[in-house]
Amino acid sequence: MALNTIKYLTQYGWEPLTVASNHSREFGIDSSTIVAVSAGLNITRADSTENFISRFLNWLGIVPDAMFGWRTGATAVARELLAQHKIEAIISRANPITSHLIALTIKRIHPELPWVVLFGDPWTQNPYVKYRWPWIKPYREKIERQILNTADTVIVTTELTKQLIISKYGLAHKIHVLPNTYDPSEFVHLKTRSGTSSPVVLTYAGNFYGLRSPEPLLKALKILREQDVNIIEHLKIQFVGSLAKFINLIDQHQVGDLVKIIGQLPRARTLEVLAQSDGFISIDAGWPVPSIFLPAKLMDYLALNKPILAITPDGEVDQLIRATRTGLVASPDDPVAIANALRRIYQHQVIVNPDMLAIERYSAVSYARNLAKLLEALTIK
Same structural domain for residues 24 and 156?
A: yes
Instruction: CATH number of the domain at 334, please.
Output: 3.40.50.2000
Q: What is the mean pLDDT of residues 161-174?
A: 95
Q: Return the pLDDT at 120.
A: 87
pLDDT digits (tens, 9 = 90+) for 144-156: 999 999 999 999 9
How many independent structural domains does the chain possess? 2
| Residue 347 predicted with pLDDT over 80 | yes
Same structural domain for residues 166 and 212?
A: no
Q: Return the pLDDT at 116.
A: 97
| Residue 210 predicted with pLDDT over 80 | no
> How is 296-332 classified by DSSP, letter by letter?
HHHHHHHHHT--EEEE--SBHHHHHHHHHT-EEEE-T
**Can you count the helices (H) and strands (E) in the chain?**
15, 12
Same structural domain for residues 189 and 249?
A: yes
| Residue 27 predicted with pLDDT over 70 | no
Q: What is the mean pLDDT of residues 303-308?
A: 94
The CA distance from 122 to 167, in Å, is: 13
| Residue 32 predicted with pLDDT over 80 | no
Same structural domain for residues 192 and 260?
A: yes
> How is 188-235 classified by DSSP, letter by letter?
TTPPPP-S--SSEEEEEES---TT--SHHHHHHHHHHHHH-TTGGGTE
**Which of 175-184, 252-261, 287-296, 309-318 is predicted with the least confidence, judged by mean pLDDT?**
287-296
Same structural domain for residues 230 and 369?
A: no
pLDDT digits (tens, 9 = 90+) for 33-88: 554 555 567 888 888 888 888 889 988 889 999 899 899 999 999 999 999 999 99
Using an 8 Å Cβ cutoff, are 175 and 154 in contact?
yes
The CA distance from 302 to 324, in Å, is: 8
| Residue 217 predicted with pLDDT over 90 | yes
Same structural domain for residues 163 and 262?
A: no
pTM of this structure: 0.90
Q: Return the pLDDT at 192.
A: 85
Using an 8 Å Cβ cutoff, are 253 and 218 in contact?
yes
Using an 8 Å Cβ cutoff, are 92 and 124 in contact?
no
Task: Provide the residue range defining the domain that includes 164.
Answer: 2-181+363-379
Same structural domain for residues 113 and 228?
A: no
